[in-house]
Structure 1
Amino acid sequence: MDTNNKTAFISTNTEEEKEKIMENVGITFDEIYCRGSSLVEWTYVQPHLPNVRENYYKYSGFAGKLWFRMKMSMARAKNKIDTYYTMKALAPEYLLNRDPANQQLRASMAHLHIAPMPMLTDRLTRVYAIKFVDREFSPHMLTDWNKYVLMLGDVQQWDDLSLAEEVVVDMANLTLKQVVVLTPPVVKKLVKCYLDVLLFKPLSMHFVNAPSFAEAVFTLVKSLLKPKIADRIFVHTEKGYEKLHEHISPKYLPKDFDGEGPELKDMHNAWLQKIDSYREWFLENDSYVVREELRQGTPISYSDVFGMKVPATTDSMTSHGESER
């Protein structure tokens, strides 16, 4: 692979991959765009949803892919769009004030590398690789890391299509400092963000080089997931990647996971540049938030979604992010 060509590290469907996906589900791309147009028109008549310009959805392409990932159900797709804007109001520390040029965010991302692999697996899934680069950690990094991952998910979903995702996390540099900040309320909110906001359909999640003290976190996370999703989490405490390769071929893993793909750092840096190119979009996206006072029916509250009152830290985290804009 040409390591000087940054676009070689960016995951984009090949024509062959598109054809295989369409054959697998028995539809055409024309139908995806048609359904997307219908969804965009639906948003215009929902008074509580922001009046988003259609090119925000890239001429309905993203909205159509949303329909596709929601098992080709218009009802589920509409609910997903509603949830996206609702969660922005309820989890602003992760879903608002997302400026790619924010210096604190950029500094935090030097300590966590993440990127989707350039090619789909033979199961037509997209592998995401994540690695703790070192053991340096400050509490704000947890917010920054998850904010960035959700930003990457937004950008990734514009141009990409797959049947599901497979996530691989190298935890060799995980420390107790990172674990203790993962309180039940924080984990619950993050689970909701990833499963309810992103077009994320996890086929498998692998945690390699996992230290024994991380077991409590996995127990908590699994308790917040549906059993069928919890069963897709695999924790590999053995050092190395041999067990991981029994589930995912090295062909679809980064070089630093003993795989045949590019170095994760190179892919991570290429994605940082791509997300930079979406800065204007992210800044505009901040203004698109649900207006509960205009919702037909009962407004949705924080406790409705998370089953608890708004934590005191939420306001401080939000204002912190705003002060750095």
Structure 2
Amino acid sequence: MELRALFWTAGVAFFIAVIIGPLFIPVLRRLKFGQAIRSEGPQGHQKKAGTPTMGGTIFLVALTITAIQFSDRSPQLWMVLLVTLGFGLVGFVDDYIKVIMKRNLGLRARQKLLGQLIVSAAFFLALYWQGFDFSVSIPFTDIKWHLGIFYSAFLLLVLIAATNAVNLTDGLDGLAAGTSAIAFGTYAGIAAIWTSQFDVAIFCAAMAGALLGFLVFNAHPAKVFMGDTGSLALGGGLAAAAVLTKTELMLVVIGFVFVVETLSVLIQVFSFQTFGKRVFKMSPLHHHFELSGWSEWRVVLTFWAAGLICSMVALSTYMK
């Protein structure tokens, strides 16, 4: 597969996102889809209140148009789109409840989990019908675990962990979008060069390009936020790409920034509930650095750099 096709796909997705962004953002503003800012968050974020959210629709539209146009429309494409758009729909409903119905917590935990379970079950059934290999490869080794029917539980864990990790990372302008673009670009290379999955590579390239286009409006100071519509879709898409390329555990390395963000929350909660003390000034981790005096741009650029390094480490294992 020619890498030129991936760059062309990413370029078209970027162009579409840049074109439709100025069309979508005023509509979101007129519909009063403004972001509510948590009062317990950094005080500097209060000025962001009212910034249009649900902007994940911008890169999801660009992704869908481009991926369908440039792919072979194989079952793999429809599966990865199913997961991405399915989780995006769960996020859209969550955003809608928060913004329109003025219920700040959005979907209840059980409702959100039910939506995630439905999408995950549909993905598992699609994999089963395609005769998918329900084994898991251990990174940096030749070991494989054959899980059989237990792969369904593992799949659910990967999907929910990835979606929630990206969701937690989406707390600063451009942070989740930029880090995700790096991860999807990495998976485009893995799918194209090492696993020869044309449609998965096209999907990942389209998503990376669409996210870079979205960053034109989401970089600091953001004109629009992706909302749960975007962050849940990104987590689902990354997890689906990892599953289809049989690199489920390598996602921990490629998405290590997301992992660290999630761990910071878990550590903070455990420490406070157990010892009554906080390890970080605030979690997720990006807020800790903000409250330590780092500018928002410095935090974002540092996390992008960390994501790039992690992706390079992951890619290096395939170059041997």
Question: Which band: TM-score by shorter chain?
Answer: under 0.3
Which structure has the higher relative contact order (CA within 8 Å, separation 6+)?
A: 2
Query: Which is strand-richer, 1 or 2?
Result: 1
TM-score (norm 1): 0.27
TM-score by length of 2: 0.27
